Amino acid sequence: MELINAIGRRKSSVARVYLSEGTGKITINKKDITVYFPSAILQFVVKQPLQLLEAEGKYDIKANLDGGGFTGQSQALRLAIARALVKINAEDKKALKDAGFLTRDSRAVERKKPGQPKARRRFQFSKR
């Protein structure tokens, strides 16, 4: 198996993933996953597609994460891993799609409007 690459996005985070056969080592920005994401919850989010397909020890994952915060980065990485797994085996697509791992979460910050302090917040109204 050659190197498979995929991209995942969430808010302003971008995850580029390179998947190859190996022992299950996950490297993010040249750091181990436990160093990059110390939180067990974020590590769990990243590994969800692998756990669903029972492929945790089969692939080595190298990822480049860019932009956003740690939650957005972990979810972008999850999407990228799921897309890479579909490229390897198209039959896994239904299981990943049913679990919601192939859907890009399009929610992003709404822009600030002129004449208002924030996107929807208005300045305090004064009658007099």
Confidence band (pLDDT; 50, 70, 90) for 56? confident
Record the pTM: 0.90
What average pLDDT does this structure show over 30-58? 93
pLDDT digits (tens, 9 = 90+) for 73-88: 999 999 999 999 999 9
Place of tokens 């797994």: 85
Question: Are the C-beta atoms of 84 and 6 separated by less than 8 Å?
Answer: yes
3-state secondary structure (DSSP) of residue 13: strand
Residue range 44-72: mean pLDDT, rounded? 93
For 2-97, give the CATH class. Answer: alpha beta
- DSSP code of 99? H
What is residue 41's predicted lDDT score, i.e. its pLDDT? 96
pLDDT in tens, 15-32: 999 999 999 999 999 999
Sheet with 59-66, side-by-side order of all strands: 4-10, 13-21, 59-66, 26-28, 31-32
